[in-house]
Structure 1
Amino acid sequence: MEVIKKGTTIQSLQIGMGILDTIAEQNSPLKFSDIQDLTQITKSNLYKYLNTFIQLGILFRNKDTGEYVLGSKLIEYGMAAVDQENVIDRISPFLLEINKRSSSTVLFSSWTQNGPMIVKDINNNRGINIGAQIGTFLPIRSAAGKVFMAFMDEHTIHEWKAKEFMQIPQEMARQLEDECMLIREKEIAFAREPLISSVSSVAIPVLNYQKKLLGSVIVVGFSEFIPVNENNELSQYLIQISKEISGSFGYRSRVK
């Protein structure tokens, strides 16, 4: 392993990456004053960093609220890093079909170092707040979070899982462990209002020929329209189309 000696790094780049790390760690939009309080960088210098990142597409600033979030360029970098672009292209027709059939928002999430993240969304009604958008990291108690917990390699998700379990009651953690066994068997997961009130989700895995999880397709909508178990017409449809999606990557499901 090559050791990087002191003096061979660019300090301004390190500071810039530190700012991005700070914003990413908060997992929510931040105002300029919030970022300044967290980083303790002088206002004049912080403005230069943030303005540069906005011009490069690395950050996005909401003109109405003045809040900063990670930008689309980072999503592009992340997609390239995890080699998911071909996956997105292949599943997009399925996402459109599911959106039409369910009349609800359809998302696709893939794994990142910080947990499952939404990388694609099909939402015909932008006026509805579903509590998630491209770039949102999903908690373990969400339907997609449960899918990643059930199908991802334990070594890969160990740190994320431990961090998530620290934020929920022990009883809920035990229930999630038990629920994962059923999710592996049925290849579908459900969550009641995991992010915001009145909005629930159902998720299915996308697996390849090695049974490796490539991501999760999520249907999100008002709780009254989202199923709570597999004994539902929409659930049965999702289980079936999950077989088709994963089948396109060589996976052969044993779910009957």
Structure 2
Amino acid sequence: MEVIKSNTTIQALQTGIGILEVIAKHDKPLKFSEIAELTNISKSNLYKYLNTFIQLGFLYRDQDKGTYELGSKLIEFGMIAADRENVVERITPYLREISKHSSCTVTYSIWTSNGPMIINIFNSFQGINIGAQVGTILPITSAAGKIFLAFHDHDIIKEWKEAEFKKLSPAEKEKLENELEHIRRSEFSFAKEPIIASVSSVSFPVLNFKNNLLGAVAVVGFSEQISDDENDELNVFIKEMRRKINDIFGH
């Protein structure tokens, strides 16, 4: 991990943020030894940084596995930044209505440097495992992932797209690319079991008056609840909620 020395910056702060960036860029929680190897920081100093971040809520340590991952405080900061247009507050009543009507989980995701991340989950029926939680980075094959692929600025998502496409077979890449035109036209996407078996999802973009993507709403449920038929009763209801949400932001 490279730290640039300068008389106008605080080197220790650079080092600390560098540690957070290393952890953030990995798809899985990291052990102490892995962080030490990736950062080349002495174990005694690294322990002090990690312990400080845990106390501040910037990192979370799983006591059983001994692994570190981003903490609730960073997610909170991200939500504050994402809420500059009061998006979450303004759409929450509609997301709760969708969850209540569908008996499914509803998520709201925003773009981060690591890809689309869930920042809110609404569930009228607690205890259903949808294979995701607040802070989850979504794959490109998820319904919400497809929304970001279809609507977000190409230059911004370029690195994420390249990294995600490396995980796909040629046939999967072609299928995904072929879906994009329809997703852009219909403002609606579907994904069958992208994260966990028997759980599928539909998603739609939240767009403002400039047609810029603010985030993606996804309705997640058991595969028998979620249909790829846009004329399905639930999908018709979801599209009506999409219209009401996007009307708020002038789209």
* Paired residues for 1:3-152 under 5 Å: 6-84=6-84, 86-125=86-125, 127-152=127-152
- The 8 Å contact of residues 190 and 229 in structure 1, kept in 2 or not, is answered as no
Give the SS at the match of 2:224. helix
Bigger shift: residues 128-137 or 35-44: 35-44
1:182 paired to 2:182: yes
Deviation at 1:158, TM superposition (A): 1.9
Give the SS at the match of 1:250. coil
Give the SS at the match of 1:217. strand
Which residue does 1:198 correspond to in 2? 198
Instruction: Say if 1:33 and 1:198 are closer, same or farther in 2 by CA, change over 3 A.
Output: farther
Q: Which amino acid aligns with 1:14?
A: Q
Q: State the distance in 1 between where 2:66 and 2:95 align.
A: 32
Which residue does 1:209 correspond to in 2? 209
Which residue does 1:254 correspond to in 2? none
Give the SS at the match of 1:171. helix
Q: Which amino acid aligns with 1:190?
A: F
Instruction: Say if 1:124 and 1:50 are closer, same or farther in 2 by CA, change over 3 A.
Output: farther
- The 8 Å contact of residues 29 and 68 in structure 2, kept in 1 or not, is answered as yes
Sequence identity, in percent? 57
- The 8 Å contact of residues 139 and 145 in structure 1, kept in 2 or not, is answered as yes
Which residue does 1:231 correspond to in 2? 231
Q: Which amino acid aligns with 2:150?
A: A
TM-score (normalizing by structure 2): 0.90
Q: Point out where structure 1 has 5 or more consecutive residues left out of the alignment.
A: 252-256
Deviation at 1:242, TM superposition (A): 0.4
Deviation at 1:125, TM superposition (A): 4.9
Q: State the distance in 1 between where 2:5 and 2:243 align.
A: 51
CA offsets, 1:144-180, max 9 Å, x none?
0111111112222222222221221222222212101
Q: State the distance in 2 between where 1:16 and 1:178 align.
A: 43
Residues matched between the structures, number: 248
TM-score (normalizing by structure 1): 0.88
Deviation at 1:129, TM superposition (A): 2.8
Q: State the distance in 1 between where 2:138 and 2:84 align.
A: 18
Q: State the distance in 2 between where 1:30 and 1:124 align.
A: 33
Give the SS at the match of 1:99. helix
Bigger shift: residues 207-216 or 117-126: 117-126
- The 8 Å contact of residues 27 and 136 in structure 1, kept in 2 or not, is answered as no
Which residue does 2:169 correspond to in 1? 169
Which residue does 2:220 correspond to in 1? 220
Instruction: Say if 1:152 and 1:189 are closer, same or farther in 2 by CA, change over 3 A.
Output: same
Q: State the distance in 1 between where 2:85 and 2:79 align.
A: 6
- The 8 Å contact of residues 5 and 11 in structure 2, kept in 1 or not, is answered as no
Q: State the distance in 2 between where 1:246 and 1:106 align.
A: 16
Deviation at 1:40, TM superposition (A): 4.1
- The 8 Å contact of residues 96 and 123 in structure 2, kept in 1 or not, is answered as no
Instruction: Say if 1:243 and 1:74 are closer, same or farther in 2 by CA, change over 3 A.
Output: same
RMSD after superposition: 2.1
- The 8 Å contact of residues 79 and 85 in structure 1, kept in 2 or not, is answered as no
After superposing on structure 2, the runs of 4+ consecutive aligned residues of structure 1 that deviate more than 6 Å are none
